[in-house]
Protein backbone atom coordinates (compact mmCIF):
# COMPACT_ATOMS: atom_id res chain seq x y z
CA UNK A 1 0.00 0.00 0.00
CA UNK A 2 1.23 3.49 -0.85
CA UNK A 3 2.42 5.61 2.03
CA UNK A 4 -0.50 7.83 3.05
CA UNK A 5 0.20 11.42 4.07
CA UNK A 6 -2.05 13.25 6.49
CA UNK A 7 -2.88 16.08 4.10
CA UNK A 8 -3.65 16.31 0.39
CA UNK A 9 -4.62 19.21 -1.81
CA UNK A 10 -7.27 17.15 -3.54
CA UNK A 11 -9.25 13.99 -2.88
CA UNK A 12 -10.72 12.28 -5.95
CA UNK A 13 -13.31 9.60 -5.25
CA UNK A 14 -13.70 7.01 -8.01
CA UNK A 15 -10.98 5.96 -10.47
CA UNK A 16 -12.94 5.38 -13.67
CA UNK A 17 -11.94 7.42 -16.71
CA UNK A 18 -13.42 10.61 -15.19
CA UNK A 19 -11.72 10.25 -11.80
CA UNK A 20 -8.38 9.29 -13.35
CA UNK A 21 -8.50 12.26 -15.72
CA UNK A 22 -9.47 14.65 -12.91
CA UNK A 23 -6.61 13.33 -10.75
CA UNK A 24 -4.10 13.67 -13.62
CA UNK A 25 -5.24 17.20 -14.48
CA UNK A 26 -5.12 18.34 -10.86
CA UNK A 27 -1.76 16.68 -10.19
CA UNK A 28 -0.47 18.15 -13.47
CA UNK A 29 -1.00 21.60 -11.98
CA UNK A 30 1.26 20.76 -9.05
CA UNK A 31 -1.32 19.64 -6.49
CA UNK A 32 -0.99 16.48 -4.39
CA UNK A 33 -3.93 14.18 -5.00
CA UNK A 34 -5.30 11.17 -3.16
CA UNK A 35 -7.24 9.00 -5.63
CA UNK A 36 -9.57 6.53 -3.91
CA UNK A 37 -11.21 3.57 -5.67
CA UNK A 38 -13.55 1.08 -4.03
CA UNK A 39 -12.81 -1.77 -6.47
CA UNK A 40 -9.55 -3.76 -6.24
CA UNK A 41 -8.41 -2.17 -9.55
CA UNK A 42 -8.75 1.26 -11.13
CA UNK A 43 -10.22 1.75 -14.62
CA UNK A 44 -13.99 1.74 -14.00
CA UNK A 45 -16.32 0.62 -16.79
CA UNK A 46 -14.04 1.70 -19.63
CA UNK A 47 -11.28 -0.82 -18.97
CA UNK A 48 -13.80 -3.63 -19.54
CA UNK A 49 -15.14 -2.31 -22.86
CA UNK A 50 -14.11 -3.81 -26.19
CA UNK A 51 -14.15 -0.86 -28.61
CA UNK A 52 -15.47 2.69 -28.25
CA UNK A 53 -18.03 4.37 -30.46
CA UNK A 54 -17.91 6.14 -32.86
CA UNK A 55 -14.24 5.54 -33.76
CA UNK A 56 -14.13 1.85 -32.83
CA UNK A 57 -10.76 2.42 -31.17
CA UNK A 58 -9.70 -0.26 -28.71
CA UNK A 59 -11.03 0.86 -25.31
CA UNK A 60 -8.35 -0.62 -23.08
CA UNK A 61 -5.62 0.78 -25.42
CA UNK A 62 -6.84 4.25 -24.43
CA UNK A 63 -7.67 3.47 -20.82
CA UNK A 64 -4.67 1.41 -19.67
CA UNK A 65 -2.00 4.05 -20.46
CA UNK A 66 -4.02 6.49 -18.32
CA UNK A 67 -4.20 3.88 -15.56
CA UNK A 68 -0.41 3.46 -15.68
CA UNK A 69 0.11 7.24 -15.70
CA UNK A 70 -2.07 7.57 -12.59
CA UNK A 71 -0.19 4.78 -10.84
CA UNK A 72 3.23 6.28 -11.58
CA UNK A 73 2.46 9.98 -11.11
CA UNK A 74 4.61 11.40 -8.32
CA UNK A 75 1.81 13.67 -7.11
CA UNK A 76 -0.94 11.00 -7.09
CA UNK A 77 -1.35 8.55 -4.23
CA UNK A 78 -3.59 5.65 -5.14
CA UNK A 79 -5.76 3.81 -2.64
CA UNK A 80 -7.74 0.90 -4.09
CA UNK A 81 -10.27 -1.37 -2.38
CA UNK A 82 -11.16 1.60 -0.21
CA UNK A 83 -14.55 3.16 0.61
CA UNK A 84 -15.42 6.64 1.80
CA UNK A 85 -16.93 6.50 5.28
CA UNK A 86 -17.31 10.19 5.99
CA UNK A 87 -16.44 13.55 4.51
CA UNK A 88 -16.91 16.71 6.48
CA UNK A 89 -16.02 20.33 6.01
CA UNK A 90 -13.57 21.82 8.52
CA UNK A 91 -11.84 25.20 8.86
CA UNK A 92 -8.89 23.78 6.86
CA UNK A 93 -10.80 22.04 4.09
CA UNK A 94 -12.28 18.57 4.44
CA UNK A 95 -11.77 15.91 7.03
CA UNK A 96 -11.98 12.53 5.27
CA UNK A 97 -12.49 9.10 6.83
CA UNK A 98 -11.80 6.14 4.56
CA UNK A 99 -12.00 2.42 5.16
CA UNK A 100 -9.54 0.16 3.39
CA UNK A 101 -11.04 -3.30 2.98
CA UNK A 102 -8.84 -6.30 3.73
CA UNK A 103 -7.39 -7.95 0.60
CA UNK A 104 -5.93 -10.70 2.80
CA UNK A 105 -2.82 -10.09 0.69
CA UNK A 106 -0.03 -7.74 1.76
CA UNK A 107 -0.22 -5.26 -1.09
CA UNK A 108 3.38 -4.07 -1.06
CA UNK A 109 4.75 -7.63 -1.04
CA UNK A 110 2.56 -9.13 -3.78
CA UNK A 111 4.41 -9.43 -7.10
CA UNK A 112 1.31 -10.35 -9.12
CA UNK A 113 2.70 -13.77 -10.10
CA UNK A 114 -0.76 -15.42 -9.70
CA UNK A 115 0.78 -18.55 -8.13
CA UNK A 116 -1.82 -18.26 -5.35
CA UNK A 117 -4.60 -18.31 -7.93
CA UNK A 118 -3.18 -21.42 -9.61
CA UNK A 119 -2.88 -23.19 -6.25
CA UNK A 120 -6.46 -22.43 -5.19
CA UNK A 121 -9.03 -25.15 -5.89
CA UNK A 122 -12.14 -22.97 -5.65
CA UNK A 123 -13.94 -21.75 -8.78
CA UNK A 124 -15.89 -18.51 -8.53
CA UNK A 125 -17.88 -16.67 -11.27
CA UNK A 126 -15.66 -13.91 -12.66
CA UNK A 127 -16.98 -10.50 -11.59
CA UNK A 128 -15.07 -8.57 -14.29
CA UNK A 129 -16.53 -10.89 -16.96
CA UNK A 130 -20.06 -10.68 -15.50
CA UNK A 131 -20.05 -14.30 -14.45
CA UNK A 132 -19.19 -15.64 -17.93
CA UNK A 133 -15.74 -16.84 -16.92
CA UNK A 134 -14.34 -17.93 -13.58
CA UNK A 135 -11.49 -17.20 -11.23
CA UNK A 136 -10.20 -18.71 -7.99
CA UNK A 137 -11.12 -17.47 -4.50
CA UNK A 138 -7.82 -15.56 -4.55
CA UNK A 139 -7.18 -13.80 -7.84
CA UNK A 140 -5.71 -10.86 -9.75
CA UNK A 141 -8.86 -8.88 -10.73
CA UNK A 142 -8.03 -9.02 -14.46
CA UNK A 143 -5.13 -8.89 -16.89
CA UNK A 144 -5.08 -5.08 -17.12
CA UNK A 145 -5.69 -4.49 -13.41
CA UNK A 146 -3.75 -1.80 -11.61
CA UNK A 147 -2.39 -2.62 -9.12
CA UNK A 148 -1.47 -6.15 -10.26
CA UNK A 149 -2.09 -7.41 -6.75
CA UNK A 150 -4.18 -10.40 -5.72
CA UNK A 151 -7.31 -10.14 -3.63
CA UNK A 152 -8.81 -12.97 -1.61
CA UNK A 153 -12.57 -13.34 -1.31
CA UNK A 154 -13.30 -14.76 2.17
CA UNK A 155 -16.84 -15.63 1.09
CA UNK A 156 -15.46 -18.45 -1.08
CA UNK A 157 -12.05 -19.23 0.48
CA UNK A 158 -11.68 -22.68 2.07
CA UNK A 159 -8.83 -21.39 4.29
CA UNK A 160 -6.80 -24.55 3.60
CA UNK A 161 -3.61 -22.52 3.18
CA UNK A 162 -2.94 -23.73 -0.41
CA UNK A 163 -2.45 -20.17 -1.66
CA UNK A 164 -0.19 -19.22 1.26
CA UNK A 165 2.05 -22.24 0.61
CA UNK A 166 2.32 -21.35 -3.10
CA UNK A 167 3.09 -17.66 -2.53
CA UNK A 168 6.82 -16.96 -3.14
CA UNK A 169 6.76 -13.71 -1.13
CA UNK A 170 4.70 -14.98 1.81
CA UNK A 171 2.14 -12.22 1.37
CA UNK A 172 -1.15 -14.02 2.12
CA UNK A 173 -2.41 -12.69 5.44
CA UNK A 174 -5.68 -14.18 6.74
CA UNK A 175 -5.61 -11.87 9.77
CA UNK A 176 -6.10 -8.58 7.91
CA UNK A 177 -8.92 -6.35 9.19
CA UNK A 178 -10.63 -3.28 7.71
CA UNK A 179 -8.35 -0.30 8.26
CA UNK A 180 -9.63 3.21 8.97
CA UNK A 181 -7.63 6.01 7.34
CA UNK A 182 -8.05 9.69 8.22
CA UNK A 183 -6.76 12.46 5.97
CA UNK A 184 -7.35 16.16 5.29
CA UNK A 185 -8.06 17.41 1.77
CA UNK A 186 -8.36 20.97 0.49
CA UNK A 187 -10.89 20.13 -2.25
CA UNK A 188 -12.87 17.07 -3.31
CA UNK A 189 -13.86 15.68 -6.72
CA UNK A 190 -16.58 13.05 -6.81
CA UNK A 191 -16.40 10.81 -9.90
CA UNK A 192 -18.26 7.74 -8.73
CA UNK A 193 -19.69 6.77 -12.11
CA UNK A 194 -22.45 4.41 -13.05
CA UNK A 195 -24.21 1.14 -12.45
CA UNK A 196 -26.67 -0.49 -14.80
CA UNK A 197 -30.30 -0.85 -13.85
CA UNK A 198 -30.52 -4.43 -12.46
CA UNK A 199 -30.99 -7.04 -15.22
CA UNK A 200 -34.11 -8.45 -13.58
CA UNK A 201 -35.90 -5.15 -13.01
CA UNK A 202 -38.24 -5.74 -15.94
CA UNK A 203 -39.53 -9.18 -15.07
CA UNK A 204 -41.31 -9.54 -18.43
CA UNK A 205 -37.90 -9.69 -20.18
CA UNK A 206 -36.57 -12.60 -18.13
CA UNK A 207 -33.19 -11.00 -17.34
CA UNK A 208 -31.43 -12.94 -14.58
CA UNK A 209 -33.75 -15.91 -15.25
CA UNK A 210 -33.05 -16.85 -18.88
CA UNK A 211 -29.35 -17.48 -19.37
CA UNK A 212 -29.32 -16.15 -22.95
CA UNK A 213 -30.75 -12.76 -21.94
CA UNK A 214 -27.62 -10.72 -21.41
CA UNK A 215 -26.28 -7.55 -19.90
CA UNK A 216 -24.57 -5.23 -22.47
CA UNK A 217 -21.39 -5.05 -20.40
CA UNK A 218 -21.22 -8.86 -20.50
CA UNK A 219 -21.49 -8.56 -24.30
CA UNK A 220 -18.52 -6.14 -24.24
CA UNK A 221 -16.51 -8.81 -22.40
CA UNK A 222 -17.64 -11.52 -24.86
CA UNK A 223 -16.43 -9.35 -27.74
CA UNK A 224 -13.11 -8.42 -26.12
CA UNK A 225 -10.01 -10.28 -27.28
CA UNK A 226 -9.07 -10.68 -23.59
CA UNK A 227 -12.62 -11.68 -22.65
CA UNK A 228 -13.75 -15.00 -21.19
CA UNK A 229 -13.95 -16.96 -24.48
CA UNK A 230 -12.31 -14.62 -27.03
CA UNK A 231 -15.46 -14.61 -29.19
CA UNK A 232 -19.25 -14.23 -29.00
CA UNK A 233 -21.13 -17.38 -28.06
CA UNK A 234 -24.34 -18.29 -26.28
CA UNK A 235 -23.85 -18.74 -22.54
CA UNK A 236 -26.30 -21.69 -22.44
CA UNK A 237 -24.56 -24.04 -24.88
CA UNK A 238 -21.55 -22.31 -26.47
CA UNK A 239 -23.37 -22.14 -29.81
CA UNK A 240 -22.44 -19.30 -32.19
CA UNK A 241 -25.60 -17.14 -32.17
CA UNK A 242 -27.05 -16.60 -35.63
CA UNK A 243 -29.72 -14.15 -34.54
CA UNK A 244 -29.13 -11.53 -31.84
CA UNK A 245 -31.72 -9.00 -30.62
CA UNK A 246 -31.13 -5.77 -28.71
CA UNK A 247 -34.04 -4.47 -26.65
CA UNK A 248 -33.60 -0.71 -26.19
CA UNK A 249 -34.83 1.29 -23.20
CA UNK A 250 -34.88 -1.90 -21.09
CA UNK A 251 -34.72 0.09 -17.88
CA UNK A 252 -34.67 3.69 -19.15
CA UNK A 253 -37.44 6.14 -20.06
CA UNK A 254 -39.70 4.12 -17.80
CA UNK A 255 -41.41 5.85 -14.88
CA UNK A 256 -42.70 2.53 -13.54
CA UNK A 257 -39.16 1.53 -12.46
CA UNK A 258 -38.11 5.02 -11.36
CA UNK A 259 -35.84 5.69 -14.34
CA UNK A 260 -37.78 8.24 -16.43
CA UNK A 261 -34.74 9.69 -18.20
CA UNK A 262 -32.89 8.60 -21.35
CA UNK A 263 -29.55 6.92 -20.56
CA UNK A 264 -28.03 8.56 -23.69
CA UNK A 265 -25.44 5.89 -24.49
CA UNK A 266 -27.55 2.75 -25.07
CA UNK A 267 -28.46 3.37 -28.73
CA UNK A 268 -24.81 4.00 -29.51
CA UNK A 269 -23.41 0.97 -27.66
CA UNK A 270 -26.06 -1.28 -29.23
CA UNK A 271 -25.11 -0.04 -32.73
CA UNK A 272 -21.41 -0.44 -31.87
CA UNK A 273 -21.84 -3.98 -30.57
CA UNK A 274 -23.97 -4.80 -33.63
CA UNK A 275 -21.21 -3.60 -35.99
CA UNK A 276 -18.61 -5.64 -34.10
CA UNK A 277 -20.80 -8.76 -34.15
CA UNK A 278 -21.35 -8.46 -37.92
CA UNK A 279 -17.61 -7.91 -38.50
CA UNK A 280 -16.75 -11.13 -36.68
CA UNK A 281 -19.85 -13.16 -37.54
CA UNK A 282 -21.07 -11.84 -40.94
CA UNK A 283 -23.78 -14.50 -41.10
CA UNK A 284 -25.30 -13.41 -37.80
CA UNK A 285 -28.35 -11.16 -37.96
CA UNK A 286 -28.53 -8.28 -35.48
CA UNK A 287 -31.89 -6.61 -34.81
CA UNK A 288 -32.28 -3.54 -32.60
CA UNK A 289 -35.83 -3.04 -31.29
CA UNK A 290 -36.21 0.60 -30.28
CA UNK A 291 -38.65 3.45 -29.64
CA UNK A 292 -36.37 5.92 -31.45
CA UNK A 293 -32.62 5.96 -32.08
CA UNK A 294 -30.84 8.74 -30.20
CA UNK A 295 -27.52 9.42 -31.92
CA UNK A 296 -26.80 12.88 -30.58
CA UNK A 297 -22.98 13.36 -30.55
CA UNK A 298 -20.36 14.32 -33.09
CA UNK A 299 -20.19 11.66 -35.78
CA UNK A 300 -22.93 9.62 -34.11
CA UNK A 301 -25.58 10.03 -36.82
CA UNK A 302 -23.01 8.89 -39.39
CA UNK A 303 -22.20 5.93 -37.14
CA UNK A 304 -25.89 5.01 -37.04
CA UNK A 305 -26.08 5.14 -40.84
CA UNK A 306 -22.92 3.07 -41.09
CA UNK A 307 -24.47 0.40 -38.84
CA UNK A 308 -27.58 0.24 -41.00
CA UNK A 309 -25.35 0.07 -44.10
CA UNK A 310 -23.51 -2.87 -42.54
CA UNK A 311 -26.73 -4.80 -42.19
CA UNK A 312 -27.95 -4.03 -38.66
CA UNK A 313 -31.77 -4.20 -38.67
CA UNK A 314 -33.23 -1.26 -36.79
CA UNK A 315 -36.89 -1.93 -36.00
CA UNK A 316 -39.24 0.55 -34.35
CA UNK A 317 -41.13 -1.68 -31.96
CA UNK A 318 -42.24 -2.17 -28.38
CA UNK A 319 -41.11 -5.45 -26.86
CA UNK A 320 -43.86 -6.65 -24.54
CA UNK A 321 -42.47 -9.96 -23.31
CA UNK A 322 -39.65 -12.46 -23.73
CA UNK A 323 -40.15 -16.18 -23.17
CA UNK A 324 -37.67 -19.02 -23.26
CA UNK A 325 -38.05 -22.06 -25.52
CA UNK A 326 -37.00 -25.54 -24.34
CA UNK A 327 -33.75 -25.24 -26.38
CA UNK A 328 -33.04 -21.88 -24.63
CA UNK A 329 -33.88 -19.81 -27.74
CA UNK A 330 -35.87 -16.69 -26.91
CA UNK A 331 -39.23 -15.65 -28.28
CA UNK A 332 -39.97 -11.91 -28.32
CA UNK A 333 -43.54 -10.67 -28.44
CA UNK A 334 -43.27 -7.32 -30.21
CA UNK A 335 -45.60 -4.59 -31.39
CA UNK A 336 -44.21 -3.39 -34.73
CA UNK A 337 -44.91 0.34 -34.72
CA UNK A 338 -44.07 0.92 -38.40
CA UNK A 339 -46.47 -1.87 -39.37
CA UNK A 340 -49.49 -0.22 -37.79
CA UNK A 341 -48.96 -1.89 -34.43
CA UNK A 342 -49.02 -5.46 -35.75
CA UNK A 343 -48.10 -7.90 -32.98
CA UNK A 344 -45.56 -10.58 -33.88
CA UNK A 345 -43.62 -13.31 -32.10
CA UNK A 346 -40.00 -13.38 -33.23
CA UNK A 347 -37.35 -15.93 -32.26
CA UNK A 348 -33.72 -15.05 -31.46
CA UNK A 349 -30.72 -17.07 -30.23
CA UNK A 350 -29.53 -14.36 -27.86
CA UNK A 351 -31.00 -11.14 -26.45
CA UNK A 352 -29.09 -8.16 -25.03
CA UNK A 353 -31.09 -5.84 -22.80
CA UNK A 354 -29.91 -2.27 -23.26
CA UNK A 355 -30.18 -1.56 -19.57
CA UNK A 356 -30.37 2.01 -18.38
CA UNK A 357 -27.73 3.82 -16.38
CA UNK A 358 -28.13 4.71 -12.69
CA UNK A 359 -25.69 6.36 -10.27
CA UNK A 360 -22.73 4.21 -9.20
CA UNK A 361 -22.88 5.48 -5.62
CA UNK A 362 -25.29 7.31 -3.37
CA UNK A 363 -23.66 9.31 -0.58
CA UNK A 364 -26.39 8.57 1.99
CA UNK A 365 -24.94 11.18 4.33
CA UNK A 366 -21.29 10.18 3.82
CA UNK A 367 -20.62 13.36 1.79
CA UNK A 368 -22.33 16.74 2.18
CA UNK A 369 -23.73 16.98 -1.36
CA UNK A 370 -27.27 17.05 -2.63
CA UNK A 371 -28.58 14.70 -5.29
CA UNK A 372 -31.15 15.40 -7.99
CA UNK A 373 -34.50 13.64 -8.42
CA UNK A 374 -32.82 10.83 -10.41
CA UNK A 375 -30.13 10.20 -7.79
CA UNK A 376 -27.21 11.84 -9.64
CA UNK A 377 -25.19 14.64 -8.01
CA UNK A 378 -27.12 17.89 -8.18
CA UNK A 379 -25.48 20.70 -10.12
CA UNK A 380 -27.15 23.93 -8.98
CA UNK A 381 -25.76 26.04 -11.86
CA UNK A 382 -25.75 23.58 -14.73
CA UNK A 383 -25.43 26.20 -17.48
CA UNK A 384 -22.69 28.24 -15.80
CA UNK A 385 -20.72 25.83 -13.58
CA UNK A 386 -21.34 22.23 -14.67
CA UNK A 387 -18.58 20.80 -12.46
CA UNK A 388 -19.69 22.43 -9.18
CA UNK A 389 -21.77 20.42 -6.70
CA UNK A 390 -24.20 21.90 -4.19
CA UNK A 391 -21.37 22.15 -1.62
CA UNK A 392 -18.45 24.60 -1.74
CA UNK A 393 -15.16 22.87 -2.43
CA UNK A 394 -16.79 19.67 -3.75
CA UNK A 395 -16.66 19.19 -7.54
CA UNK A 396 -18.24 16.49 -9.67
CA UNK A 397 -17.42 14.74 -12.93
CA UNK A 398 -18.41 11.89 -15.23
CA UNK A 399 -21.56 9.78 -15.11
CA UNK A 400 -21.90 10.58 -11.40
CA UNK A 401 -23.69 13.76 -12.57
CA UNK A 402 -25.83 12.04 -15.22
CA UNK A 403 -25.53 9.55 -18.10
CA UNK A 404 -22.89 10.47 -20.66
CA UNK A 405 -20.27 9.02 -23.00
CA UNK A 406 -16.51 8.86 -22.47
CA UNK A 407 -15.55 12.10 -24.29
CA UNK A 408 -18.05 14.10 -22.21
CA UNK A 409 -16.88 12.39 -19.00
CA UNK A 410 -13.28 13.36 -19.81
CA UNK A 411 -14.19 16.96 -20.62
CA UNK A 412 -16.13 17.26 -17.36
CA UNK A 413 -13.20 15.78 -15.44
CA UNK A 414 -10.94 18.49 -16.84
CA UNK A 415 -13.49 21.13 -15.81
CA UNK A 416 -13.75 19.68 -12.29
CA UNK A 417 -9.94 19.66 -11.94
CA UNK A 418 -9.74 23.27 -13.11
CA UNK A 419 -12.49 24.38 -10.71
CA UNK A 420 -10.76 22.50 -7.87
CA UNK A 421 -7.39 24.09 -8.76
CA UNK A 422 -8.91 27.59 -8.73
CA UNK A 423 -10.65 26.84 -5.44
CA UNK A 424 -7.41 25.57 -3.90
CA UNK A 425 -5.58 28.64 -5.21
CA UNK A 426 -8.17 30.94 -3.61
CA UNK A 427 -8.06 29.00 -0.31
CA UNK A 428 -4.27 29.09 -0.23
CA UNK A 429 -4.24 32.83 -1.03
CA UNK A 430 -6.73 33.43 1.81
CA UNK A 431 -4.62 31.39 4.20
CA UNK A 432 -1.51 33.29 3.05
CA UNK A 433 -3.25 36.62 3.61
CA UNK A 434 -4.19 35.66 7.17
CA UNK A 435 -0.65 34.69 8.14
C1 LIG B 1 -22.33 -1.39 -22.28
C2 LIG B 1 -21.68 -0.02 -22.32
C3 LIG B 1 -20.92 0.32 -23.41
C4 LIG B 1 -20.36 1.61 -23.49
N5 LIG B 1 -19.64 1.93 -24.60
C6 LIG B 1 -19.16 3.20 -24.72
C7 LIG B 1 -18.43 3.59 -25.88
O8 LIG B 1 -18.21 2.78 -26.80
N9 LIG B 1 -18.03 4.91 -26.00
C10 LIG B 1 -18.29 5.82 -25.02
O11 LIG B 1 -17.93 7.00 -25.19
N12 LIG B 1 -18.94 5.46 -23.88
C13 LIG B 1 -19.37 4.17 -23.70
N14 LIG B 1 -20.03 3.82 -22.56
C15 LIG B 1 -20.16 4.83 -21.47
C16 LIG B 1 -18.88 4.82 -20.61
O17 LIG B 1 -18.73 3.56 -20.03
C18 LIG B 1 -18.97 5.90 -19.54
O19 LIG B 1 -19.16 7.15 -20.16
C20 LIG B 1 -17.69 5.99 -18.69
O21 LIG B 1 -17.32 4.73 -18.21
C22 LIG B 1 -17.93 6.95 -17.52
O23 LIG B 1 -16.79 7.01 -16.71
P24 LIG B 1 -16.88 7.42 -15.17
O25 LIG B 1 -15.49 7.53 -14.70
O26 LIG B 1 -17.78 8.57 -15.03
O27 LIG B 1 -17.62 6.20 -14.46
P28 LIG B 1 -17.15 4.69 -14.17
O29 LIG B 1 -16.48 4.10 -15.33
O30 LIG B 1 -18.38 4.03 -13.63
O31 LIG B 1 -16.10 4.84 -12.99
C32 LIG B 1 -16.48 5.17 -11.68
C33 LIG B 1 -15.51 4.55 -10.70
O34 LIG B 1 -15.83 5.00 -9.38
C35 LIG B 1 -15.73 3.90 -8.48
N36 LIG B 1 -16.58 4.21 -7.32
C37 LIG B 1 -17.93 4.28 -7.26
N38 LIG B 1 -18.32 4.63 -6.03
C39 LIG B 1 -17.20 4.77 -5.29
C40 LIG B 1 -16.97 5.12 -3.92
N41 LIG B 1 -17.96 5.40 -3.09
N42 LIG B 1 -15.70 5.17 -3.48
C43 LIG B 1 -14.66 4.90 -4.33
N44 LIG B 1 -14.83 4.56 -5.62
C45 LIG B 1 -16.09 4.51 -6.11
C46 LIG B 1 -16.21 2.72 -9.30
O47 LIG B 1 -15.77 1.50 -8.74
C48 LIG B 1 -15.58 3.03 -10.66
O49 LIG B 1 -14.27 2.51 -10.76
C50 LIG B 1 -20.56 2.54 -22.45
C51 LIG B 1 -21.30 2.16 -21.31
C52 LIG B 1 -21.88 0.90 -21.25
C53 LIG B 1 -22.70 0.53 -20.05
pLDDT score at 433: 64
Write out residues with Cβ below 6 Å of ligand 1.
13-19, 36-39, 44-46, 49, 52-53, 83-84, 191-194, 216-217, 220, 265, 269, 272, 360-361, 398-400, 404-407, 409
Q: Which atom of ligand 1 is nearest to the CA of 52?
A: 8
Enumerate residue ranges in the chain where pLDDT < 70: 1, 433-435
pLDDT score at 406: 98
Q: Give the E-state strand segments of 325-375 in sequence order.
A: 330-336, 342-348, 350-353, 357-359
CB-based burial label for 86 (10 Å; 0-12, 13-18, 19+): middle
- Distance from the alpha carbon of residue 416 to the mean position of ligand 1, in angstroms: 16
pLDDT score at 435: 42
- Distance from the alpha carbon of residue 363 to the mean position of ligand 1, in angstroms: 17
Percent helix, strand, coil in the chain, to 5, is: 25, 25, 45
**What domains lie within the chain, and their CATH numbers?**
7-101+178-193+360-434 (3.50.50.60), 197-357 (3.50.50.60)
pLDDT score at 430: 84
Q: What is the tens place of the pLDDT at every residue in 59-90? A: 999 999 999 999 999 999 999 999 999 999 99
Q: What is the tens place of the pLDDT at every residue in 129-160? A: 999 999 999 999 999 999 999 999 999 999 99
pLDDT score at 230: 87
- Distance from the alpha carbon of residue 405 to the mean position of ligand 1, in angstroms: 9
Q: Which atom of ligand 1 is nearest to the CA of 18?
A: 25
Q: Which atom of ligand 1 is nearest to the CA of 20?
A: 25
pLDDT score at 432: 78
Looking from the CA of 106 toward its CB, the CA atoms found within 13 Å total: 11
Amino acid sequence: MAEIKQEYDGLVLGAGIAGMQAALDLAGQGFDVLLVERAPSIGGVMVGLNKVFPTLDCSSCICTPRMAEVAHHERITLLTYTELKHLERTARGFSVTLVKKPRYVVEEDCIGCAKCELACNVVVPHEFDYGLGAHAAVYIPHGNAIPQVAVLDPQYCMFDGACARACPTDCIDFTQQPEEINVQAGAVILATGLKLVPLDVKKEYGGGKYVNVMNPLAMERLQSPNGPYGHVMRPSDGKIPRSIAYVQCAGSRDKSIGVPYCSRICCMYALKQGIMIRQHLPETEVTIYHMDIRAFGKGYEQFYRRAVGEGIRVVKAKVARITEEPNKDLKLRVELIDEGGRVAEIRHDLVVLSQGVIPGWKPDGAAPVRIDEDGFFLIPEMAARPANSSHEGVFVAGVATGPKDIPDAIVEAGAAAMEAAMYLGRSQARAGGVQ
